[in-house]
Amino acid sequence: QSALTQPASVSGSPGQSITISCTGTTSDVGGYNYVSWYQQYPGKAPKLMIYDVSNRPSGVSNRFSGSKSGNTASLTISGLQAEDEADYYCSSYTSSSTLVFGGGTKLTVL
């Protein structure tokens, strides 16, 4: 199984909105609404930010939102804040009953 494709890096200024894409195939992202997004700070464990494409766990800021179109899922962060600077990973359930992660995207807040 191949990793989902994410941009290596994205950047934005405080207050702006950014979007991170996560591209797969019809066998994973496009075939199921089981896409999740994780935020990871250096040296820390990942934190669940979005599950099932667009659902936010309790306690996650509503500045984070998720969506999907075809084989590409997206994470949007609005009102960018310095604390949002981190690595972000997407994941998807696959037709083989396995899970695949994206390669990760480093978000820089300028």
Partner 1 sequence: QLQLQESGPGLVKPSETLSLTCTVTGASISRSTYYWGWIRQPPGKGLEWIGCIYYSGDTYYNPSLKSRVTMSVDTSKNQFSLNLTSVTAADTAVYYCARSGKYWNWFDPWGQGTLVTVSS
Residues that bind partner 1 (CB under 8 A): 1, 3, 32, 34-36, 38, 45-48, 51-52, 57, 89, 91, 93, 96-104
Least separation in angstroms between residue 45's CB and partner 1 is: 4
Smallest distance from the beta carbon of 101 to partner 1, in angstroms? 4
- How many residues does the structure list for the chain? 110
Q: Measuring CA to CA, how many Å separate 96 from each of 9, 68, 82, 93?
A: 29, 21, 39, 8
Tokens of 13: 């200024």
Nearest approach, Cβ of 52 to partner 1 (angstroms)?
6
Q: Which is nearer to partner 1, 18 or 102 (CB)?
A: 102
- Count the neighbouring beta carbons within 10 Å of the beta carbon of residue 49: 21
